[in-house]
Structure 1
Amino acid sequence: FILETFSDVDELHEGLRAVRSLSDLPVIAQMTIGDDGLTHYGTAPEIFTKQLAEWGADVIGVNCSVGPAGVLEAVEKMVKVTDRPISAVPNAGLPKDVGDRKIYLASPEYMASYARRMIEAGARIVGGCCGTTPEHIKKIRDYVASVVPRHQPVVVSREVVAAPAGVAAVPLAQRSRFGTKLARRELVTSVEIVPPKGVDPAPMFAQCRALKAAGVDAVNVPDGPRAQSRMGALLSSVIIEREVGIETVTHYSCRDRNLLGMLSDVLGASAAGLRNILIITGDPPKMGPYPDATAVFDIDAIGLTNLVYRLNHGLDPGGNPIGKPTQFAIGVGVNPAATDLDRELSRFAWKVDAGADFAVTQPVFDIAQLESFLKRVEQFHIPIVAGIWPLLSLRNAEFLANEVPGVSVPDTVLARMRKASDGGKDSALAEGVKIAREMFALVKRDVQGIQVSAPFGKVEVALEVFK
């Protein structure tokens, strides 16, 4: 049900009660505001949002009366006071009298640009009210296709996930060698190897053989990092394990497949023998060389974690038995350097509730920052694997600091790399490895594992960190 264009929140409350007396279907409850950002009766968006959430509205929104700019301002206030999904449905601007007609002058491009900003601000549903044409809607769809919403939906927690009678998840220690070490609280080591851009896996195999010979526990295989097209992570992992005999931790992004595709991929990965999966939401296409590619995001990393957790209990997303359960050690990402750390920890809590077995951090360069983060996540009681990136050069450090989302490089590290670069490339590389070794020595006592990136495929540099 959609209850829309209410000026009086108490009237909307009565409408909500009436619907609830007849049906349990979801209800979208939308108020309307004026140019001053308030309802006709002077109620602010953050106030009626709290009230509607308390009264049980499934989605809370604003529609009609004002154009995109006014609705965006309301959305920015509403998302701060609720975790309920927010809808934003403005008019196509304010009407103008043209002859004997009222014309809405907001162009499709203008409406679409604001729809994108509304999603980035936290809205989950966007559209148009008075004056909106099919062309407006088409343009909105095109503009928002690759946007990652700021606020993600809460998923069912593991406490309410019911497995079929007689079907229990395989213990973590029995799912994989990687899972065994995690379950035993032994330090696990892994190195990230990015799949090739072409079809020749030979260099990747050579890198993985070097890691196996050095005693590294697993190879991390990214899935289209930074929205770049590369050999698929699932198939790369399968052929690495088959040809080299080292376990993989397969990254899986929610960006590129719909729910059915994800389910098929995960079931196929299990049948092919993959046992370790790291679930990520994925970088939006606009970051990569194909910015017009469509991002799907049917579910995010939280939702997919819950899906795989269910599969580990022999259930598909609809609660139907699948027979033999999957046996994945389920990993998730977490960022100790997140700008909004409270929100990051909130999402991490949802991931743990959804069924995560372990977490891998973004590359860490600030030990104090990591230690503070680890204290705050002790309550979740799952293994943390710290990411470490050996810097190759000052340019590499500056790139990570300024152009890679989620990575924070302290000024002290940049200063060390700047000073070392004065001595040439070899000096800068040696300093980058030294910094990584220092991080390894400091964090290995406090975390369950270490993941070292092999920058630009330089496995020999990654292995230097473990020495």
Structure 2
Amino acid sequence: MRMSFRKPKDIALELVPRSLDGILAEAKQSLATFPFVTSVNVPEIRRLPIKSFEPSQLLLQSNIDTTPHFRLIDRTEKDLLQKISALVEAGLKQVLLIGGDPAHDDPNFVPSGLTTLSAIQAVKREFPGLKIYAGLDPYRSSFREELDYAFAKREAGCDGFYTQPFFSIGMLELWLEQLPEAEIWFGIAPVYTERSKNYWERVNNVVFPPNFSFDKNFNTRLARQLLVTISETQQRAYLMPVANGAIEYLQNLFDC
């Protein structure tokens, strides 16, 4: 598969683990069809019964470069280190540590108390050769607060960041300017419906540009523009098809 524009340094694909067989099949097909996609991210979603650990084991056993996400609010440090240890034995090279949002809809939910900074330090101490990524969220607080938090994560031992998806070239350029030395995987996601847009606004406080459109061609052009901007600084991108189907999304984006 050929691209008509310069690609970022690396491109990863995020696949939601709705079933173990499904994520493995989709990962194999996607990487075989689009060889410039080099790895698979496995997010951890509280409402889904399958977490990141089991599908990451399957992917690693199939020699697929994998980045599991771990929601720290749901687990103890001991549990986190045990799961990472088992994945390291299977060939894990990198992990993403996410603080996680509280379960407001569950009255019995009790946060573990494990913080992102303490988790980064513990994992780096236990697995010094493992790449540790943390989240970078341009929407949850002020720009100054998020930037200072990013610096604190790097001081704790974080090797780089995975961002929430960007829907604006201007906002992307702002973060590229502020963290030129950091390894950053910038998120790109399609938004084709009002329902999807409302989700990003409600759950993640995303601010969409005034000219944003649900049109598929608009989303494709925006994604390609983001990829070009990311490539100019030799940064990285990860693609989030969400519920749109990985193969269809990748074909739409790169069949050009």
Match of 1:465 in 2: 253
How many corresponding residue pairs? 245
Query: What TM-score, normalized to structure 1?
Result: 0.49
Matched residue SS, 2:253: helix
Aligned to 1:312: 127
Q: Is the 8 A contact 1:384 1:447 kept in 2?
A: no
Q: Deviations over 1:282-303 (max 9, x none)?
A: 12112xxx52242333221121
* Candidates 47, 50, 54, aligned match of 1:228: 47
- Residue in structure 1 matched with residue 4 of structure 2 by the alignment: none
* CA spacing shift, 1:277–1:334, aligned 2, 3 Å: same
- 2:184 paired residue number: 384
Aligned CA distance change for structure 1 residues 250 and 466 (closer, same or farther; 3 Å): farther
Q: Determine what percentage of the aligned residue pairs are the same residue.
A: 23
- After superposition, the C-alpha distances for 1:17-58 in whole angstroms (9 at most, x for unaligned) are xxxxxxxxxxxxxxxxxxxxxxxxxxxxxxxxxxxxxxxxxx
Q: Does 1:448 pair with 2:247?
A: no
In structure 1, what is the equivalent of residue 112 of structure 2?
A: 297
Q: 1:201 to 1:312 in 2, by over 3 A?
A: closer
SS in structure 1 of the partner of residue 74 of structure 2: coil
Question: Which is higher, the Rg of structure 1 or of structure 2?
Answer: 1
Amino acid aligned to 1:195: P
The answer to whether the aligner puts 1:393 opposite 2:193 as a matched pair is yes
Verify the 8 A CA contact 1:331 1:357 in the aligned structure 2.
Answer: yes
Higher relative contact order (CA 8 A, sep 6+): 2
Tell me how far 1:249 sits from its aligned partner: 0.8
What is the CA deviation profile of residues 298-351 of structure 1, one whole-angstrom value per residue up to 9, with x for unaligned ones?
Answer: 2211211111111134xxxxxxxxxxxxx3111111023443111111111111
- Matches of 1:349 and 1:404 in 2, distance apart? 25
Specify every segment of 5 or more residues in structure 2 that has no aligned partner in the other structure, as ranges. Answer: 1-7
| Paired residue secondary structure (1:411) | coil
Output the CA distance in 1 between the equivalents of 2:120 and 2:133: 8
Q: Which amino acid aligns with 1:409?
A: F
Distance across 2 between alignment mates of 1:211 and 1:460: 6
Question: Where does residue 211 of structure 2 map in the other structure?
Answer: 412
1:439 offset after TM fit, Å? 1.9
The 1:194–1:311 alpha-carbon spacing in structure 2 relative to 1, beyond 3 Å, is same
The 1-side partners of 2:31 and 2:54 are apart by 19
Provide the residue aligned with 1:190 in structure 2.
12
Structure 1, gaps ≥5 residues long:
1-185, 314-326, 418-427
Identify if the C-alpha distance between structure 1 residues 256 and 457 changes in structure 2 by more than 3 Å, giving closer, same or farther.
Answer: farther
- The 1:293/1:433 distance shift into structure 2, 3 A limit, reads farther
Q: Residues of 2 paired with 1:392 and 1:460: CA distance?
A: 16
Q: Is the 8 A contact 1:191 1:462 kept in 2?
A: no
- Separation (CA, whole Å) in 1 of partners of 2:89 and 2:11: 25
1:456 alignment partner, SS class? coil
Contact between 1:452 and 1:462, CA under 8 Å: does it hold in 2? no
Alpha-carbon distance between aligned partners in 1 of 2:125 and 2:54, rounded to the nearest angstrom: 23
Could you tell me the TM-score, scaled by structure 2's length?
0.87
Q: CA–CA distance in 1 between the matches of 2:254 and 2:134?
A: 23
Asked whether the 8 Å contact 2:140–2:204 carries over to 1, the reply is no
Give the Cα separation in 1 of the matches to 2:111 and 2:141: 25
What amino acid is the match of 2:90? A
CA–CA separation in structure 1 for the residues paired with 2:73 and 2:85: 18
Q: 1:354 aligns with which of 156, 179, 186?
A: 156
The 3 A distance-change label for structure 1 pair 229 and 455 is closer
Alignment-derived partner of residue 181 in structure 1: none
**4+ residue runs of structure 1 moved beyond 4 angstroms?**
none
Deviation at 1:457, TM superposition (A): 5.1
Q: 2:24 aligns with which of 205, 219, 236?
A: 205
Matching residue of 2:60: 241
Could you say which residue in structure 1 is the equivalent of 2:223? 436
The structure-2 alpha-carbon separation of the partners of 1:241 and 1:270, relative to structure 1 and needing over 3 Å to count, comes to: closer
Q: Are the equivalent residues in 2 in contact too, given 1:385–1:447 (CA < 8 A)?
A: no
Aligned alpha-carbon RMSD (Å)? 2.0
Give the 3 Å change call, closer, same or farther, for CA 192–270 of structure 1 in structure 2.
Answer: same
Task: Tell me if structure 1 keeps the 8 A contact 2:133–2:162.
Answer: yes
Q: 1:329 to 1:457 in 2, by over 3 A?
A: farther
Classify the secondary structure of the residue corresponding to 2:106.
coil
Measured in 1, the distance between the counterparts of 2:194 and 2:224 equals: 17
Deviation, structure 1 residue 277: 0.2
Instruction: Kindly state the Cα deviation for residue 462 of structure 1 after the two structures are TM-superposed.
Output: 3.4
Contact 1:364 1:370 in 2 (8 A): yes
